[in-house]
Protein backbone atom coordinates (compact mmCIF):
# COMPACT_ATOMS: atom_id res chain seq x y z
CA UNK A 1 0.00 0.00 0.00
CA UNK A 2 1.32 3.46 -0.96
CA UNK A 3 2.09 5.71 1.99
CA UNK A 4 -0.01 8.88 1.98
CA UNK A 5 2.14 11.55 3.58
CA UNK A 6 0.93 14.79 5.08
CA UNK A 7 1.31 17.58 2.56
CA UNK A 8 1.14 21.38 2.60
CA UNK A 9 1.10 23.36 -0.63
CA UNK A 10 1.45 27.10 -0.13
CA UNK A 11 2.12 30.38 -1.94
CA UNK A 12 -0.26 29.49 -4.74
CA UNK A 13 -3.47 30.73 -6.33
CA UNK A 14 -6.03 27.98 -5.68
CA UNK A 15 -9.24 28.21 -7.70
CA UNK A 16 -11.21 25.85 -5.49
CA UNK A 17 -14.56 25.83 -7.38
CA UNK A 18 -16.05 25.91 -3.88
CA UNK A 19 -18.60 28.73 -3.75
CA UNK A 20 -18.12 29.07 0.01
CA UNK A 21 -14.36 29.59 -0.36
CA UNK A 22 -13.53 30.28 -4.03
CA UNK A 23 -9.88 31.32 -3.58
CA UNK A 24 -7.13 30.09 -1.29
CA UNK A 25 -3.37 30.42 -1.13
CA UNK A 26 -2.58 27.13 0.61
CA UNK A 27 -3.99 23.69 1.33
CA UNK A 28 -3.26 20.90 3.79
CA UNK A 29 -3.66 17.23 2.86
CA UNK A 30 -3.82 14.18 5.13
CA UNK A 31 -4.57 10.62 4.06
CA UNK A 32 -5.13 11.63 0.46
CA UNK A 33 -7.84 14.18 1.32
CA UNK A 34 -7.97 17.94 1.78
CA UNK A 35 -8.32 18.89 5.42
CA UNK A 36 -7.85 22.63 4.98
CA UNK A 37 -7.96 25.29 2.27
CA UNK A 38 -7.00 28.80 3.27
CA UNK A 39 -3.66 30.49 3.96
CA UNK A 40 -0.13 29.29 4.65
CA UNK A 41 -0.23 29.83 8.39
CA UNK A 42 -3.48 27.94 8.75
CA UNK A 43 -2.28 25.05 6.60
CA UNK A 44 0.96 24.60 8.51
CA UNK A 45 -0.76 24.94 11.88
CA UNK A 46 -2.82 21.84 11.06
CA UNK A 47 0.37 19.79 11.42
CA UNK A 48 1.82 21.50 14.48
CA UNK A 49 2.53 18.12 16.08
CA UNK A 50 3.00 16.03 12.92
CA UNK A 51 5.61 15.80 10.22
CA UNK A 52 4.66 16.95 6.74
CA UNK A 53 6.10 17.87 3.36
CA UNK A 54 5.81 21.56 2.48
CA UNK A 55 5.96 22.69 -1.16
CA UNK A 56 6.32 26.34 -2.12
CA UNK A 57 4.30 26.84 -5.30
CA UNK A 58 6.04 30.16 -6.03
CA UNK A 59 2.84 31.84 -7.17
CA UNK A 60 1.62 28.99 -9.39
CA UNK A 61 -2.07 28.51 -10.12
CA UNK A 62 -3.91 25.41 -8.92
CA UNK A 63 -7.23 23.91 -9.98
CA UNK A 64 -8.95 20.70 -8.92
CA UNK A 65 -7.45 17.75 -10.76
CA UNK A 66 -8.50 17.71 -14.41
CA UNK A 67 -10.37 14.67 -15.72
CA UNK A 68 -10.89 13.63 -19.34
CA UNK A 69 -14.49 12.40 -19.48
CA UNK A 70 -14.17 10.53 -22.76
CA UNK A 71 -11.13 8.79 -24.18
CA UNK A 72 -9.85 5.42 -25.32
CA UNK A 73 -6.83 4.66 -23.22
CA UNK A 74 -5.84 1.37 -24.82
CA UNK A 75 -5.90 2.95 -28.28
CA UNK A 76 -3.92 5.88 -26.90
CA UNK A 77 -1.32 3.67 -25.23
CA UNK A 78 -0.90 1.49 -28.29
CA UNK A 79 -0.82 4.53 -30.59
CA UNK A 80 2.28 5.65 -28.73
CA UNK A 81 3.82 2.30 -29.73
CA UNK A 82 2.59 2.11 -33.35
CA UNK A 83 2.60 4.21 -36.54
CA UNK A 84 1.38 7.78 -36.21
CA UNK A 85 -0.72 8.19 -39.35
CA UNK A 86 -1.83 11.75 -38.56
CA UNK A 87 0.33 13.20 -41.32
CA UNK A 88 -0.19 15.90 -43.99
CA UNK A 89 -0.56 13.52 -46.95
CA UNK A 90 -1.38 9.91 -47.68
CA UNK A 91 2.04 9.56 -49.27
CA UNK A 92 3.64 10.55 -45.94
CA UNK A 93 1.75 7.72 -44.24
CA UNK A 94 2.77 5.27 -46.95
CA UNK A 95 6.39 6.27 -46.38
CA UNK A 96 6.05 5.50 -42.65
CA UNK A 97 4.56 2.10 -43.46
CA UNK A 98 7.47 1.40 -45.79
CA UNK A 99 9.95 2.17 -43.00
CA UNK A 100 8.12 -0.06 -40.54
CA UNK A 101 7.87 -2.92 -43.06
CA UNK A 102 11.66 -3.00 -43.36
CA UNK A 103 12.04 -3.73 -39.64
CA UNK A 104 8.99 -5.95 -39.12
CA UNK A 105 9.06 -9.75 -39.65
CA UNK A 106 7.22 -10.80 -42.80
CA UNK A 107 3.60 -11.67 -42.13
CA UNK A 108 3.35 -9.67 -38.90
CA UNK A 109 0.66 -6.99 -38.72
CA UNK A 110 1.60 -3.33 -39.09
CA UNK A 111 -0.89 -1.06 -37.36
CA UNK A 112 -1.32 2.65 -36.87
CA UNK A 113 -3.79 5.42 -36.16
CA UNK A 114 -4.70 8.97 -37.11
CA UNK A 115 -5.17 9.43 -40.89
CA UNK A 116 -7.77 11.94 -42.02
CA UNK A 117 -8.77 11.88 -45.67
CA UNK A 118 -10.52 15.23 -45.30
CA UNK A 119 -7.11 16.84 -44.74
CA UNK A 120 -5.95 15.08 -47.92
CA UNK A 121 -8.65 16.66 -50.08
CA UNK A 122 -11.56 14.39 -49.18
CA UNK A 123 -10.57 11.37 -51.27
CA UNK A 124 -10.19 8.03 -49.48
CA UNK A 125 -6.84 6.21 -49.79
CA UNK A 126 -6.62 2.72 -51.32
CA UNK A 127 -5.13 -0.69 -50.65
CA UNK A 128 -2.93 -0.36 -53.75
CA UNK A 129 -1.01 2.50 -52.13
CA UNK A 130 0.00 0.26 -49.22
CA UNK A 131 0.57 -2.80 -51.41
CA UNK A 132 3.48 -1.08 -53.13
CA UNK A 133 5.48 -0.73 -49.91
CA UNK A 134 4.21 -3.62 -47.76
CA UNK A 135 3.05 -6.46 -50.00
CA UNK A 136 3.99 -9.17 -47.47
CA UNK A 137 2.67 -7.52 -44.30
CA UNK A 138 -1.01 -7.11 -43.44
CA UNK A 139 -1.51 -3.41 -42.71
CA UNK A 140 -4.40 -1.81 -40.81
CA UNK A 141 -4.45 1.92 -40.15
CA UNK A 142 -7.35 3.38 -38.21
CA UNK A 143 -8.72 6.79 -39.16
CA UNK A 144 -8.55 9.71 -36.77
CA UNK A 145 -12.33 9.55 -36.41
CA UNK A 146 -12.10 5.94 -35.21
CA UNK A 147 -14.85 5.05 -37.69
CA UNK A 148 -12.82 3.82 -40.66
CA UNK A 149 -9.76 1.70 -41.35
CA UNK A 150 -7.40 1.64 -44.31
CA UNK A 151 -6.00 -1.78 -45.14
CA UNK A 152 -3.87 -3.37 -47.83
CA UNK A 153 -4.51 -6.45 -49.95
CA UNK A 154 -2.52 -8.67 -47.58
CA UNK A 155 -4.82 -7.62 -44.74
CA UNK A 156 -7.95 -8.25 -46.80
CA UNK A 157 -6.65 -11.72 -47.67
CA UNK A 158 -5.61 -12.44 -44.07
CA UNK A 159 -9.11 -11.75 -42.73
CA UNK A 160 -11.00 -13.34 -45.61
CA UNK A 161 -12.57 -10.22 -47.11
CA UNK A 162 -13.18 -10.60 -50.85
CA UNK A 163 -15.00 -8.49 -53.40
CA UNK A 164 -18.04 -10.68 -52.78
CA UNK A 165 -18.05 -10.30 -48.97
CA UNK A 166 -21.40 -8.72 -48.02
CA UNK A 167 -21.53 -5.57 -45.92
CA UNK A 168 -22.35 -6.46 -42.31
CA UNK A 169 -25.23 -4.68 -40.60
CA UNK A 170 -24.17 -1.20 -39.55
CA UNK A 171 -20.99 -1.23 -41.63
CA UNK A 172 -19.65 -0.92 -45.15
CA UNK A 173 -16.78 -2.24 -47.25
CA UNK A 174 -16.07 0.53 -49.73
CA UNK A 175 -15.89 -0.67 -53.35
CA UNK A 176 -14.98 0.92 -56.66
CA UNK A 177 -17.26 1.13 -59.70
CA UNK A 178 -16.38 -2.45 -60.69
CA UNK A 179 -17.27 -3.79 -57.23
CA UNK A 180 -13.70 -4.32 -56.05
CA UNK A 181 -12.97 -3.65 -52.37
CA UNK A 182 -10.89 -0.47 -52.25
CA UNK A 183 -9.17 -1.02 -48.91
CA UNK A 184 -11.29 1.34 -46.79
CA UNK A 185 -13.75 -0.20 -44.34
CA UNK A 186 -16.36 1.69 -42.32
CA UNK A 187 -18.08 1.31 -38.97
CA UNK A 188 -19.21 -2.19 -37.91
CA UNK A 189 -17.41 -3.75 -40.88
CA UNK A 190 -14.14 -2.78 -39.20
CA UNK A 191 -14.68 -5.68 -36.81
CA UNK A 192 -14.06 -8.09 -39.70
CA UNK A 193 -10.44 -6.90 -39.57
CA UNK A 194 -9.97 -5.92 -35.94
CA UNK A 195 -10.93 -9.33 -34.56
CA UNK A 196 -8.09 -10.90 -36.55
CA UNK A 197 -5.29 -8.62 -35.36
CA UNK A 198 -3.42 -10.30 -32.50
CA UNK A 199 -4.17 -8.47 -29.27
CA UNK A 200 -1.35 -7.53 -26.91
CA UNK A 201 -1.06 -9.62 -23.76
CA UNK A 202 -2.16 -8.12 -20.47
CA UNK A 203 1.50 -7.68 -19.56
CA UNK A 204 2.31 -5.94 -22.86
CA UNK A 205 -0.72 -3.71 -22.53
CA UNK A 206 0.07 -2.86 -18.90
CA UNK A 207 3.57 -1.84 -19.95
CA UNK A 208 2.23 0.38 -22.72
CA UNK A 209 -0.38 1.88 -20.39
CA UNK A 210 2.16 2.60 -17.68
CA UNK A 211 4.07 4.77 -20.15
CA UNK A 212 0.84 6.41 -21.33
CA UNK A 213 -0.13 7.18 -17.71
CA UNK A 214 3.05 9.18 -17.32
CA UNK A 215 2.33 11.22 -20.45
CA UNK A 216 -1.23 11.86 -19.25
CA UNK A 217 -0.03 12.99 -15.81
CA UNK A 218 2.41 15.39 -17.46
CA UNK A 219 -0.57 16.94 -19.24
CA UNK A 220 -2.18 17.59 -15.86
CA UNK A 221 -4.71 14.76 -15.97
CA UNK A 222 -5.70 13.15 -12.69
CA UNK A 223 -8.58 11.06 -14.00
CA UNK A 224 -10.13 9.54 -17.11
CA UNK A 225 -13.41 8.03 -18.20
CA UNK A 226 -12.20 5.20 -20.40
CA UNK A 227 -14.47 3.72 -23.06
CA UNK A 228 -12.24 0.97 -24.44
CA UNK A 229 -12.51 -2.82 -24.33
CA UNK A 230 -12.37 -4.96 -21.14
CA UNK A 231 -8.78 -5.93 -22.01
CA UNK A 232 -7.59 -2.58 -20.74
CA UNK A 233 -9.59 -3.08 -17.54
CA UNK A 234 -7.36 -6.05 -16.74
CA UNK A 235 -4.28 -3.95 -17.33
CA UNK A 236 -5.60 -1.15 -15.12
CA UNK A 237 -6.30 -3.67 -12.35
CA UNK A 238 -2.81 -5.10 -12.65
CA UNK A 239 -1.29 -1.62 -12.30
CA UNK A 240 -3.64 -0.68 -9.47
CA UNK A 241 -2.72 -3.78 -7.49
CA UNK A 242 0.96 -2.91 -7.94
CA UNK A 243 0.40 0.68 -6.78
CA UNK A 244 1.26 2.03 -10.22
CA UNK A 245 -2.12 3.45 -11.26
CA UNK A 246 -1.67 7.23 -11.30
CA UNK A 247 -5.05 8.23 -12.76
CA UNK A 248 -8.53 7.68 -11.38
CA UNK A 249 -10.31 5.48 -13.91
CA UNK A 250 -14.05 5.29 -14.55
CA UNK A 251 -14.14 2.22 -16.82
CA UNK A 252 -16.89 1.86 -19.37
CA UNK A 253 -17.94 -1.56 -20.67
CA UNK A 254 -19.03 -2.25 -24.29
CA UNK A 255 -22.60 -3.35 -25.00
CA UNK A 256 -21.36 -6.78 -26.11
CA UNK A 257 -20.56 -7.59 -22.47
CA UNK A 258 -23.82 -6.37 -20.92
CA UNK A 259 -25.22 -9.81 -20.13
CA UNK A 260 -21.94 -11.01 -18.60
CA UNK A 261 -21.73 -7.93 -16.41
CA UNK A 262 -25.30 -8.41 -15.22
CA UNK A 263 -24.73 -12.12 -14.59
CA UNK A 264 -21.69 -11.27 -12.48
CA UNK A 265 -23.81 -8.92 -10.36
CA UNK A 266 -21.71 -5.88 -11.24
CA UNK A 267 -23.08 -2.35 -11.26
CA UNK A 268 -21.98 1.16 -12.15
CA UNK A 269 -19.71 2.46 -9.39
CA UNK A 270 -18.42 -0.95 -8.30
CA UNK A 271 -14.78 -0.68 -7.25
CA UNK A 272 -12.95 2.02 -5.34
CA UNK A 273 -12.14 5.70 -5.84
CA UNK A 274 -9.14 4.88 -8.05
CA UNK A 275 -10.71 2.27 -10.34
CA UNK A 276 -14.38 1.54 -10.71
CA UNK A 277 -16.98 0.36 -13.20
CA UNK A 278 -18.56 3.07 -15.33
CA UNK A 279 -21.40 3.02 -17.87
CA UNK A 280 -22.24 0.54 -20.60
CA UNK A 281 -21.01 2.00 -23.90
CA UNK A 282 -23.23 1.76 -26.98
CA UNK A 283 -23.21 3.26 -30.48
CA UNK A 284 -26.12 4.85 -32.31
CA UNK A 285 -24.23 6.02 -35.42
CA UNK A 286 -20.88 6.76 -37.01
CA UNK A 287 -18.97 10.01 -37.50
CA UNK A 288 -19.07 13.28 -39.40
CA UNK A 289 -15.89 12.82 -41.47
CA UNK A 290 -16.91 9.67 -43.38
CA UNK A 291 -20.56 10.87 -43.47
CA UNK A 292 -21.74 7.99 -41.30
CA UNK A 293 -23.37 10.19 -38.63
CA UNK A 294 -27.12 9.42 -38.67
CA UNK A 295 -29.12 12.40 -39.91
CA UNK A 296 -32.76 13.50 -39.93
CA UNK A 297 -32.19 14.75 -43.49
CA UNK A 298 -29.42 14.31 -46.04
CA UNK A 299 -26.03 15.97 -45.73
CA UNK A 300 -25.73 19.37 -47.37
CA UNK A 301 -22.84 17.92 -49.37
CA UNK A 302 -24.73 14.70 -50.22
CA UNK A 303 -28.52 15.14 -49.92
CA UNK A 304 -29.15 11.47 -50.68
CA UNK A 305 -26.98 10.33 -47.76
CA UNK A 306 -28.39 10.17 -44.21
CA UNK A 307 -25.55 8.22 -42.58
CA UNK A 308 -25.56 4.88 -40.78
CA UNK A 309 -27.51 3.63 -37.77
CA UNK A 310 -24.81 1.33 -36.40
CA UNK A 311 -27.07 -0.43 -33.87
CA UNK A 312 -30.78 -1.15 -34.31
CA UNK A 313 -32.86 1.25 -32.24
CA UNK A 314 -34.86 -1.67 -30.86
CA UNK A 315 -31.64 -3.24 -29.60
CA UNK A 316 -30.51 0.03 -28.03
CA UNK A 317 -33.85 0.57 -26.32
CA UNK A 318 -33.98 -2.96 -24.93
CA UNK A 319 -30.35 -2.73 -23.80
CA UNK A 320 -30.78 0.63 -22.04
CA UNK A 321 -33.79 -0.64 -20.12
CA UNK A 322 -31.99 -3.87 -19.21
CA UNK A 323 -28.85 -2.02 -18.10
CA UNK A 324 -30.69 0.60 -16.04
CA UNK A 325 -32.90 -2.03 -14.42
CA UNK A 326 -29.74 -3.78 -13.24
CA UNK A 327 -27.95 -0.74 -11.81
CA UNK A 328 -25.87 0.07 -14.87
CA UNK A 329 -25.73 3.55 -16.34
CA UNK A 330 -25.43 3.91 -20.11
CA UNK A 331 -23.27 6.07 -22.38
CA UNK A 332 -24.35 6.18 -26.03
CA UNK A 333 -22.29 7.57 -28.88
CA UNK A 334 -24.47 9.90 -30.98
CA UNK A 335 -23.17 12.38 -33.57
CA UNK A 336 -25.97 13.17 -36.00
CA UNK A 337 -29.26 14.89 -35.16
CA UNK A 338 -31.28 11.72 -35.89
CA UNK A 339 -29.04 9.63 -33.64
CA UNK A 340 -29.32 12.13 -30.80
CA UNK A 341 -33.10 12.34 -31.11
CA UNK A 342 -33.52 8.58 -31.10
CA UNK A 343 -31.33 8.24 -28.02
CA UNK A 344 -33.17 11.02 -26.19
CA UNK A 345 -36.43 9.22 -26.95
CA UNK A 346 -34.98 6.02 -25.49
CA UNK A 347 -33.79 7.82 -22.35
CA UNK A 348 -37.21 9.41 -21.96
CA UNK A 349 -38.77 5.94 -22.06
CA UNK A 350 -36.22 4.64 -19.56
CA UNK A 351 -37.00 7.50 -17.20
CA UNK A 352 -40.72 6.77 -17.55
CA UNK A 353 -40.37 3.04 -16.87
CA UNK A 354 -37.56 3.29 -14.28
CA UNK A 355 -37.97 6.69 -12.60
CA UNK A 356 -36.00 6.07 -9.42
CA UNK A 357 -32.73 4.40 -10.44
CA UNK A 358 -30.58 7.46 -9.70
CA UNK A 359 -28.39 6.44 -12.64
CA UNK A 360 -26.74 9.11 -14.77
CA UNK A 361 -27.10 8.17 -18.40
CA UNK A 362 -24.96 9.99 -20.95
CA UNK A 363 -24.76 10.92 -24.60
CA UNK A 364 -21.23 10.85 -25.94
CA UNK A 365 -20.33 13.70 -28.33
CA UNK A 366 -23.77 15.37 -28.84
CA UNK A 367 -22.27 16.95 -31.95
CA UNK A 368 -25.51 17.95 -33.69
CA UNK A 369 -28.96 18.51 -32.24
CA UNK A 370 -32.14 19.59 -33.96
CA UNK A 371 -33.46 22.85 -32.43
CA UNK A 372 -36.36 20.92 -30.89
CA UNK A 373 -33.93 18.71 -28.99
CA UNK A 374 -31.49 21.29 -27.58
CA UNK A 375 -33.09 21.37 -24.13
CA UNK A 376 -33.95 17.69 -23.77
CA UNK A 377 -30.69 16.54 -22.15
CA UNK A 378 -31.23 18.97 -19.30
CA UNK A 379 -34.90 18.02 -18.99
CA UNK A 380 -34.10 14.31 -18.82
CA UNK A 381 -31.01 14.65 -16.62
CA UNK A 382 -28.79 13.21 -19.35
CA UNK A 383 -25.06 14.01 -19.11
CA UNK A 384 -23.71 15.92 -22.12
CA UNK A 385 -20.33 14.24 -22.60
CA UNK A 386 -18.75 16.56 -25.17
CA UNK A 387 -15.30 17.28 -26.58
CA UNK A 388 -14.58 21.00 -27.16
CA UNK A 389 -11.65 20.40 -29.50
CA UNK A 390 -13.96 18.58 -31.93
CA UNK A 391 -15.59 21.94 -32.65
CA UNK A 392 -12.38 23.66 -33.68
CA UNK A 393 -11.04 20.58 -35.44
CA UNK A 394 -14.24 19.91 -37.40
CA UNK A 395 -15.45 23.41 -38.24
CA UNK A 396 -14.73 23.36 -42.01
CA UNK A 397 -16.06 19.85 -42.54
CA UNK A 398 -19.09 20.66 -40.36
CA UNK A 399 -19.85 23.69 -42.50
CA UNK A 400 -19.48 21.57 -45.63
CA UNK A 401 -21.76 18.77 -44.46
CA UNK A 402 -24.08 20.54 -42.00
CA UNK A 403 -23.93 24.19 -43.03
CA UNK A 404 -27.70 24.72 -43.08
CA UNK A 405 -28.19 23.47 -39.49
CA UNK A 406 -25.15 24.62 -37.52
CA UNK A 407 -27.25 26.29 -34.84
CA UNK A 408 -27.34 22.95 -33.03
CA UNK A 409 -23.72 21.96 -33.65
CA UNK A 410 -21.16 21.50 -30.84
CA UNK A 411 -23.51 23.52 -28.64
CA UNK A 412 -21.63 23.58 -25.31
CA UNK A 413 -23.09 26.80 -23.92
CA UNK A 414 -26.60 25.89 -25.01
CA UNK A 415 -26.40 22.69 -23.00
CA UNK A 416 -25.41 24.61 -19.87
CA UNK A 417 -28.16 27.18 -20.41
CA UNK A 418 -30.71 24.38 -20.62
CA UNK A 419 -29.54 22.75 -17.42
CA UNK A 420 -27.44 19.84 -18.68
CA UNK A 421 -24.25 18.82 -16.88
CA UNK A 422 -21.23 19.09 -19.15
CA UNK A 423 -18.56 16.39 -18.80
CA UNK A 424 -15.76 17.43 -21.13
CA UNK A 425 -13.09 15.29 -22.70
CA UNK A 426 -10.94 14.72 -25.77
CA UNK A 427 -11.94 11.46 -27.47
CA UNK A 428 -8.20 10.75 -27.45
CA UNK A 429 -6.53 9.48 -29.57
CA UNK A 430 -8.92 11.14 -32.02
CA UNK A 431 -7.68 14.41 -30.51
CA UNK A 432 -4.95 15.20 -28.01
CA UNK A 433 -5.69 14.31 -24.40
CA UNK A 434 -4.17 17.63 -23.26
CA UNK A 435 -6.97 19.21 -21.17
CA UNK A 436 -5.56 22.71 -21.61
CA UNK A 437 -6.08 22.38 -25.36
CA UNK A 438 -9.67 21.39 -24.66
CA UNK A 439 -10.21 24.30 -22.24
CA UNK A 440 -8.74 26.70 -24.80
CA UNK A 441 -11.07 25.37 -27.52
CA UNK A 442 -14.10 25.65 -25.23
CA UNK A 443 -13.31 29.22 -24.21
CA UNK A 444 -12.12 30.67 -27.53
CA UNK A 445 -13.65 28.39 -30.21
CA UNK A 446 -10.38 29.09 -32.07
CA UNK A 447 -7.42 27.06 -33.21
CA UNK A 448 -3.86 27.71 -32.11
CA UNK A 449 -3.27 29.94 -35.15
CA UNK A 450 -6.32 32.06 -34.28
CA UNK A 451 -8.58 30.60 -36.94
CA UNK A 452 -11.34 31.54 -37.69
CA UNK A 453 -10.91 34.95 -36.02
CA UNK A 454 -11.19 36.85 -32.73
CA UNK A 455 -14.80 35.84 -32.03
CA UNK A 456 -14.22 32.16 -32.71
CA UNK A 457 -16.43 29.65 -34.52
CA UNK A 458 -20.10 29.81 -33.51
CA UNK A 459 -19.12 32.22 -30.71
CA UNK A 460 -22.45 32.00 -28.90
CA UNK A 461 -21.30 28.55 -27.76
CA UNK A 462 -18.11 29.77 -26.04
CA UNK A 463 -17.72 28.91 -22.36
CA UNK A 464 -16.15 31.00 -19.62
CA UNK A 465 -12.91 29.65 -18.17
CA UNK A 466 -14.73 28.66 -14.98
CA UNK A 467 -17.39 26.79 -16.95
CA UNK A 468 -14.75 24.98 -18.97
CA UNK A 469 -12.70 24.03 -15.90
CA UNK A 470 -15.85 22.76 -14.20
CA UNK A 471 -16.45 20.67 -17.32
CA UNK A 472 -13.11 18.95 -16.70
CA UNK A 473 -13.56 18.62 -12.94
CA UNK A 474 -17.02 18.79 -11.40
CA UNK A 475 -18.80 17.57 -14.54
CA UNK A 476 -16.90 14.27 -14.78
CA UNK A 477 -17.17 13.84 -11.00
CA UNK A 478 -20.96 14.20 -11.22
CA UNK A 479 -21.16 11.89 -14.21
CA UNK A 480 -19.64 9.04 -12.19
CA UNK A 481 -21.41 9.81 -8.91
CA UNK A 482 -18.38 11.25 -7.12
CA UNK A 483 -19.38 14.91 -6.88
CA UNK A 484 -19.51 14.60 -3.08
CA UNK A 485 -15.77 13.92 -2.92
CA UNK A 486 -14.12 14.89 -6.21
CA UNK A 487 -13.81 17.94 -8.47
CA UNK A 488 -13.59 20.61 -5.75
CA UNK A 489 -10.85 21.79 -3.41
CA UNK A 490 -12.67 21.54 -0.10
CA UNK A 491 -12.34 19.83 3.25
CA UNK A 492 -13.01 16.10 3.01
CA UNK A 493 -12.60 15.92 -0.77
CA UNK A 494 -10.03 13.72 -2.50
CA UNK A 495 -6.76 15.59 -2.94
CA UNK A 496 -6.36 15.75 -6.72
CA UNK A 497 -4.75 18.89 -8.14
CA UNK A 498 -3.37 20.29 -11.38
CA UNK A 499 -0.70 22.96 -10.90
CA UNK A 500 -0.14 25.51 -13.69
CA UNK A 501 2.46 28.19 -14.35
CA UNK A 502 -0.18 30.75 -15.43
CA UNK A 503 -3.53 31.80 -14.02
CA UNK A 504 -5.80 30.67 -16.83
CA UNK A 505 -8.70 32.54 -15.19
CA UNK A 506 -7.07 35.93 -15.79
CA UNK A 507 -4.71 35.67 -18.79
CA UNK A 508 -5.60 36.24 -22.44
CA UNK A 509 -7.54 33.05 -23.29
CA UNK A 510 -5.29 32.44 -26.31
CA UNK A 511 -2.39 32.10 -23.86
CA UNK A 512 -4.01 29.06 -22.26
CA UNK A 513 -2.18 27.11 -24.97
CA UNK A 514 1.13 28.51 -23.67
CA UNK A 515 0.42 27.41 -20.11
CA UNK A 516 2.65 24.68 -18.67
CA UNK A 517 1.75 22.01 -16.15
CA UNK A 518 4.13 22.25 -13.20
CA UNK A 519 2.74 19.42 -11.15
CA UNK A 520 -0.03 16.84 -10.90
CA UNK A 521 -1.26 15.50 -7.57
CA UNK A 522 -3.47 12.40 -7.28
CA UNK A 523 -4.71 11.11 -3.94
CA UNK A 524 -2.46 13.55 -2.11
CA UNK A 525 0.82 12.61 -3.79
CA UNK A 526 2.73 14.02 -6.74
CA UNK A 527 2.49 11.78 -9.79
CA UNK A 528 4.22 14.40 -11.94
CA UNK A 529 6.40 17.23 -10.71
CA UNK A 530 8.37 19.71 -12.79
CA UNK A 531 11.89 20.73 -11.80
CA UNK A 532 10.46 24.23 -11.34
CA UNK A 533 8.64 23.15 -8.16
- Residues 125-154 have pLDDT tens digits of 999 999 999 999 999 999 988 889 999 999
- Which CATH number is associated with domain 74-194? 3.10.310.70
| pLDDT tens for each residue of 88-113 | 999 999 999 999 999 999 999 999 98
Strand partners for 253: 280
Q: How far apart are the C-alpha atoms of 146 and 122, rounded to whole Å?
A: 16
Identify which has the larger pLDDT, 290 or 483: 483
Identify which has the larger pLDDT, 430 or 21: 21
For residue 501, which of 517, 520, 513 has the smallest C-alpha distance? 517
Strand partners for 34: 29
Peptide bond into 452 cis (omega under 30): yes
CATH topology of domain 1-65+488-533: Urease, subunit C; domain 1 (2.30.40)
Confidence of residue 2 (pLDDT cuts 50, 70, 90): low
Q: How far apart are the C-alpha atoms of 468 and 475, rounded to whole Å?
A: 10
Q: How far apart are the C-alpha atoms of 43 and 8, rounded to whole Å?
A: 6
For 276-287, what is the mean pLDDT? Answer: 97
Q: How far apart are the C-alpha atoms of 212 and 433, rounded to whole Å?
A: 11
Judge if pTM exceeds 0.75: yes
**413-446: buried (b, 16+ CB within 10 Å) or exposed (e) per residue?**
bbbbeeebbbbbbbbbbbbbbbbbbbbbbbbbbb
Handedness of CA 373, 379, 383, 386 (dihedral sign): positive
Residue ranges covered by each domain of the chain: 1-65+488-533, 74-194
Please state, as a whole number, how many other Cβ atoms lie within 10 Å of the Cβ of residue 152.
27
| pLDDT tens for each residue of 441-455 | 999 999 999 999 999
Supply the mean pLDDT for the chain.
Answer: 96
Strand partners for 181: 175
For residue 127, which of 86, 158, 83, 170 has the smallest C-alpha distance? 158
Q: How far apart are the C-alpha atoms of 225 and 227, rounded to whole Å?
A: 7
Listed in sequence order, the residues at least 6 apart from 361 whose beta carbon sits closer than 8 Å to its beta carbon are: 279, 320, 324, 329, 330, 331, 332, 347, 350, 381, 382, 383
Q: Quick one: CA torsion of 413, 414, 419, 423, rounded to 10 degrees?
A: -50
| pLDDT tens for each residue of 37-48 | 999 999 999 999
Identify which has the larger pLDDT, 80 or 311: 311
Strand partners for 59: none
Q: How far apart are the C-alpha atoms of 462 and 445, rounded to whole Å?
A: 6
User: Above 60 in pLDDT, residue 168?
Assistant: yes
Amino acid sequence: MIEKRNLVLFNGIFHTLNDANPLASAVAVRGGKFIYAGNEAGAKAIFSTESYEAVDLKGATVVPGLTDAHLHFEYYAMMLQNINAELPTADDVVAEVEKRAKTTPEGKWITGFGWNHNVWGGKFPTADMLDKVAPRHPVSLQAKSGHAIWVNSAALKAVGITDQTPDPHGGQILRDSSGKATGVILEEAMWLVDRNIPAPTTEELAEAIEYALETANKMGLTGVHDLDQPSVFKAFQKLHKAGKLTLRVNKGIPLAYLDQVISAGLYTGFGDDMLHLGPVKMFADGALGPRTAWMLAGYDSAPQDTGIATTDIEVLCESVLKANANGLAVAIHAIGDRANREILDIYAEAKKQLPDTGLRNRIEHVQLLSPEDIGRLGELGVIASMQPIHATSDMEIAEKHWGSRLSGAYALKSQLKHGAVLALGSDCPVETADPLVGIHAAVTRRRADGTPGPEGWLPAERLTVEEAVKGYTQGPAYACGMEDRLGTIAEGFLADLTILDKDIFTIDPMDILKTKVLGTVVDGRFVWRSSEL
